[in-house]
Structure 1
């Protein structure tokens, strides 16, 4: 080679590319290459270097923009045509590799290719390390004008003077190798990092009262007492020829043997309802607070139910959600429901001749006694598991998440909120939401030493909704659209479609449970009324119940206490009554859960205590009716009262009939008439209640609220999550006071203290509404926000009743 043709390597200036966040994604190494690539002066115009496109591990789903890369040009070689590589990236991948496709120039004889080979290997190795970039971050690299001009130069067959002067590197170019966190810190991304609770902060580990030892212990003791009573009853009756003499069906002894056992069993059933409600309420949060990695956290917010549903049919959803033990616990509790019909037919009368004067005596059915004791053993085992599972050390809760307002504390600094963009109008969140490996606890970031409490995903970017909502929504577009015009058109189309759905009455009032649809309610009401009329007619026409009726089955009591007639006319009525009782519970649960949204939809909204702080599903049976009357939530008060009153139906129905031997030697089924009258009254109230269970249109929502995600979809864009006055809350009492605006640091700033409120003070409390509002991203959303802010005289939420 001619020595004169080779000139010393010229010193070039380094320029740092400008980084600008955009929707397109280029190779992550391009940013680093641009920091170390040399740039000639503006007067020089040749293609300096070309680098092969970066290689990644897997193909991707989303189409990316085309890009050109350069590699150091060999001397005495023709300049190759610009590389045009169509790149695509999925949620986790990087651009595809274009190396090895025959686009590079052939090797030049007499020129040492070692520096170029080492350069290429270094580049490929570097890109492999950078392939695990964050799932939602992207960069648009703006090259200097000289490089942009060089890319636009026409391809020449012979090297220019500038190309002859630029020589290949004498040693391989070294690039910095940075970890994932260091790269994100360089691009300005804030990463959410898990942290242990600071010593000066509120220590976590709250467990709701129904799941504490102080509550589960007495319940286990009550079950043990029931088992002991059943065992004693069986053994004593075998050795003493029954228990007591039968006197009549109007005496206290009749009440003890026919009504008292199912009453005690019903107390256990109601207690288990409270325990189940607590399990449903905190199950997703306990799973997210687990320190062991598990696939159970994937999508837990939009798949795990938080409202009780273990009534007529067992709830086996937890088996599918990766929580088989909780599913087994709920199945054990469901089996306990059916101890009521068994307890109703546990005792009967038997004719004894070997106790002096022959007479009827009360005696238990031996097989039923042992079987009921076995069912209570299963209940005890389930309760013991609850004691072990729901302990303080397994909890990351500050307090019991019983209301909508608690979501503000849990998600006000979460990094998963952008996933909920436009989710308020989706009908099935579980089918459309991305799975997240969520965690509940304390967090910090890579750019701040502050600690905060939230639900989030570890080692993922913390993005504000106002700057990330469009980006997250656009990721769901069709990957086949690559041009900017088609993307903009689709974006505008989706935005206009979303706006139409927001204001559509059909979408706003689309969802309610299937059993509260108009056709279902009509069927329930007609069936209940017809059955009630038939029952009353059969009971009182020709005085059939007072005179008695033939059992049409053998009534003789066997040695083990079993009588076919007594069993049938006790078990079957109680079983039907238990079905009616359990069938009403989902109705009660729905009206309790949705009442907050109904109050928020009022014309002037509602105070915090009547809306986002309502916790009817976490309150005790009976207490709900009293609280609802105080809040003037009449439907909740009535339906909750009916749910308690309906418990009398299986109790009375199972003990009202008894087989008696009359003087003429015939056996007839007779009824305890006071109990039968009470049964008819309660059945009439129950049946007529189906005529008024129609949920108003303001109790119908766009989608289900049976999960955390279902409720969070109405809060993700609310300014309540960004309100600095309700951050760093450490007690529930302080949180309630700030939402009410009754403290100096509250929302109204009027300096009122917590205490007894006058009517004037109640009118001045902060009010909240459910409707169309402008979110933190400056766009319209459907959800919950404050009706007015301090100093503002206009409503910030347009409720459904205002838009009529």
Structure 2
């Protein structure tokens, strides 16, 4: 079929130049939204011929049901309907060169048969439609191409006058025909902008399992610091302190003080001036371990039997924060009694400066020769007695609150590997969609009435232990639902695919952004604050040393500027001030360092995972530094070669000696030579204090976290940690399923073969129970399995930022951003 262009006929011609398709986001597409042509063009097959012939293929579109038009002249931009054309034939467009350097376009005019054109059938609409699609590349790749609806405000292209359906014998004979009426406007589809699955079957839900005797015996684990014997031992030590205080108060009041004063460098001086606050601060170190156990266990206890908290994942901290300032988050989390308990724990820090001044010297004249004797300050002693009684009551409540019957734990959840085991089959994973890049992931997660225990599902009879919402569907990872917007016609007819593409593209850009990846660190470790700490610490320690040793001011003594006379109750204003105030300042230094130490402990697994070569499970997933005491952290960090953590924790432990020494180094001494009282320092203790303060001050030079320890957001809640695990393929690893003990978990991750225990107690071993064994054997063969924190392909097939194996068989290696700092 040859076409001759007539001046009166408005037929567009195609130049010799090869059309190029450039993908761009256009909002002007209207012709490309025709679903009939989309179906027709989706099956186009492009074939190459010789060098002078080029064939093209229109971009594939979504498959949908072809539109059936009963009137061939309803629309010029719509192909005439063909009876029986259920699946259109391929569309072949060929360009042939003629003498006039123009291109004659030929298109097959039949869908069912590849027959030549006949004079009775007008193929002009097909030709025009093909030319229009080839020349209007912006329409093909525009907004309406992938849309389910037509663009709301897109201008329609001007219709071309149709050609006469007949052909003349002469190539010059062609008369235009009157244009047909425009097609009627199609009403907007009332469908919502979200995809609705065609086949909706019964949803799989999580069903709690009634605990049999065997299953119940597995539950009820209580972390070691919260067990009744350990808390009982601590309570017994508190009783000893109470008994010692009562004895000293009673004995000093009835026997003219306690012992004679024999100088400031004797063992007796150490007993009265250093030993009380040393014992007190060791009890505080133990109390820190108890507090850490409460922090990490409370969210799971709020998912156990009894009362539930719908905000356990989002609002309950898992890292201790009751140091320099009290932590009032327990009151916000509907735990008022526990909040009062932690307020008492915080007030226990005042026992150290009070113990530093509980024993003072008193001039005794009515019991033999006049002399100085050690006595007990009555007001300070009774205050300490009240604080230790309150501490004992707080311990009793912890023993009651965290008893075995309230626990559904199998072991102490204190590492990332424990989170993987508890949430690998949870039905709340979809709530964390794209939360790994959120600066505040806690506010993104909706409240859930979660339960910790044994579950099964409506589709699978297997029993497993974990966290989930009862009788809630097992949700799969997908795009989060669109937020409701204001009612507007353009929003109702918006392009859903374009919005989703834009949403996903923004997420993809953010997970690759260094700004998002290295965004968060605690406020007190940001560059400006660290610089301020360094300057302040260095200047203060220099001033301290200058004032101490210039003109021998401390060694020869200085006037107290306060009354030094001790009254009948043993209280001396000068002795109290120069004992309580130095110890209090030293306690502030000690408590100030503890959040720094806790940050380095908590972030060390992520720092190891952020190395370009990754890290082993022992130095990353299984690390649990926040759960250990100071001495154990130092030892484990040295073994794992985490030297910075070991040093920071060592300074945290070393700094406890600052309030101990500062509280007992000064005492008031009467000099008979000049008949005056001066405050004199015990030089051995004072020299040691100067050395420790200097080390402490210059240690601020080493707390700069650098980018190696920066994270996208905080890590103080379970929701924040799960944001980097919810899409990880680690949650689907067969080797990490059906784990009964912490020892078995360590064996699985470190590659040591172990026989998995069946949580149901069945003796029959089937194919499913053999899969963990095979997976463990594969891990045993590859003892160098490494894990990383970076960009990986998640279980939903999309890129995510989080934790996974550095490389999996058959997949590319994780993208771990290296840092040079």
TM range (shorter): 0.7 to 0.9
1:512-569 CA-to-partner distances (Å, cap 9, x unmatched) read 0000000110111111111000000000001111111010111001110000000000
Partner of 1:798, secondary structure, is: coil
Q: Retained in 1: the 8 A contact 2:637–2:645?
A: yes
What is residue 259 of structure 1 aligned with on the other side?
274
Match of 2:460 among 448, 468, 480: 448
Q: Retained in 2: the 8 A contact 1:774–1:796?
A: no
| Structure 2: distance between partners of 1:751 and 1:433 | 36
| Structure 2: distance between partners of 1:638 and 1:577 | 20
What is residue 460 of structure 1 aligned with on the other side?
472
Match of 2:371 among 344, 352, 359: 359
- Mapping of 1:66-215 within 5 angstroms? 187-201=201-215, 203-215=218-230
| Structure 1: distance between partners of 2:580 and 2:248 | 19
Q: Retained in 1: the 8 A contact 2:538–2:697?
A: yes
1:5-36 CA-to-partner distances (Å, cap 9, x unmatched) read xxxxxxxxxxxxxxxxxxxxxxxxxxxxxxxx
Partner of 1:461, secondary structure, is: coil
Q: CA deviation at 1:432?
A: 2.0
Q: Retained in 1: the 8 A contact 2:735–2:775?
A: no
Q: CA deviation at 1:445?
A: 1.9
Q: 1:477 to 1:275 in 2, by over 3 A?
A: same
| Structure 2: distance between partners of 1:477 and 1:427 | 22
RMSD over equivalenced CA pairs, Å: 2.7
Match of 2:398 among 381, 386, 396: 386
Runs of 4+ with deviation above 4 angstroms? 82-89, 137-142, 198-202, 477-485, 744-753
What is residue 163 of structure 2 aligned with on the other side?
none
Q: Retained in 1: the 8 A contact 2:736–2:748?
A: yes
Q: Retained in 2: the 8 A contact 1:741–1:747?
A: no
What is residue 636 of structure 2 aligned with on the other side?
627
| Structure 2: distance between partners of 1:667 and 1:374 | 33
Rg: which structure is higher? 2
Q: Retained in 2: the 8 A contact 1:209–1:215?
A: yes
What is residue 772 of structure 1 aligned with on the other side?
791
What is residue 306 of structure 2 aligned with on the other side?
291
Q: Does 1:798 align with 2:815?
A: yes
Q: Retained in 1: the 8 A contact 2:441–2:723?
A: no
Q: Does 1:563 align with 2:582?
A: no
What is residue 311 of structure 1 aligned with on the other side?
323
| Structure 1: distance between partners of 2:334 and 2:676 | 59
Q: CA deviation at 1:486?
A: 2.6
| Structure 2: distance between partners of 1:534 and 1:213 | 48
1:260-298 CA-to-partner distances (Å, cap 9, x unmatched) read 100110111011000000000111000011334x4xx22
What is residue 482 of structure 2 aligned with on the other side?
475
Q: CA deviation at 1:802?
A: 8.1
Match of 2:359 among 318, 343, 347: 347
1:91-150 CA-to-partner distances (Å, cap 9, x unmatched) read xxxxxxxxxxxxxxxxxxxxxxxxxxxxxxxxxxxxxxxxxxxxxx995569xxxxxxxx
What is residue 162 of structure 1 aligned with on the other side?
none
1:369-407 CA-to-partner distances (Å, cap 9, x unmatched) read 001000001100000001111011100111000100101
Match of 2:265 among 241, 246, 250: 250
Q: 1:574 to 1:795 in 2, by over 3 A?
A: farther
| Structure 1: distance between partners of 2:367 and 2:195 | 92
1:484-523 CA-to-partner distances (Å, cap 9, x unmatched) read 6432222111111111100100100000000000011011
Which runs of 5 or more residues in structure 2 are unaligned?
1-147, 150-185, 755-771
Compute the TM-score of the two structures, normalised by the length of structure 1: 0.74
Which runs of 5 or more residues in structure 1 are unaligned?
1-63, 66-81, 90-136, 143-185, 754-760
| Structure 2: distance between partners of 1:346 and 1:477 | 65
What is residue 432 of structure 2 aligned with on the other side?
420
What is residue 600 of structure 1 aligned with on the other side?
609
| Structure 1: distance between partners of 2:596 and 2:493 | 50
Match of 1:503 among 502, 512, 528: 512
| Structure 1: distance between partners of 2:804 and 2:369 | 78
What is residue 348 of structure 2 aligned with on the other side?
336
Q: Retained in 2: the 8 A contact 1:404–1:613?
A: yes
Partner of 2:571, secondary structure, is: coil
Partner of 1:455, secondary structure, is: strand
What is residue 492 of structure 1 aligned with on the other side?
501
Match of 2:715 among 694, 698, 705: 705
Q: Does 1:522 align with 2:541?
A: no
Q: 1:361 to 1:803 in 2, by over 3 A?
A: closer
Q: Retained in 2: the 8 A contact 1:738–1:746?
A: no
What is residue 404 of structure 1 aligned with on the other side?
416
| Structure 1: distance between partners of 2:787 and 2:197 | 42
Q: Retained in 2: the 8 A contact 1:739–1:746?
A: no
Match of 2:704 among 694, 699, 708: 694
| Structure 2: distance between partners of 1:626 and 1:242 | 44
| Structure 1: distance between partners of 2:291 and 2:192 | 48
Partner of 2:801, secondary structure, is: strand
Q: CA deviation at 1:764?
A: 3.5
Q: CA deviation at 1:614?
A: 0.2
1:455-500 CA-to-partner distances (Å, cap 9, x unmatched) read 11112111232xxx22xx1334647575464322221111111111
| Structure 2: distance between partners of 1:431 and 1:517 | 23
Q: CA deviation at 1:197?
A: 3.1
Compute the TM-score of the two structures, normalised by the length of structure 2: 0.72
What is residue 237 of structure 1 aligned with on the other side?
252
Q: Does 1:432 align with 2:447?
A: no
- Mapping of 1:38-49 within 5 angstroms? none
Q: Retained in 1: the 8 A contact 2:284–2:349?
A: yes
Q: 1:752 to 1:604 in 2, by over 3 A?
A: closer
Partner of 2:414, secondary structure, is: coil
What is residue 670 of structure 1 aligned with on the other side?
680
Q: Does 1:656 align with 2:668?
A: no
| Structure 2: distance between partners of 1:799 and 1:230 | 58
What is residue 742 of structure 1 aligned with on the other side?
752
Match of 2:541 among 510, 522, 532: 532
Partner of 1:440, secondary structure, is: strand
- Mapping of 1:26-41 within 5 angstroms? none
Partner of 1:362, secondary structure, is: strand
Q: 1:86 to 1:381 in 2, by over 3 A?
A: farther
What is residue 90 of structure 2 aligned with on the other side?
none
| Structure 2: distance between partners of 1:557 and 1:336 | 27
Partner of 1:187, secondary structure, is: coil
Q: Retained in 2: the 8 A contact 1:348–1:561?
A: yes
Q: CA deviation at 1:299?
A: 2.4
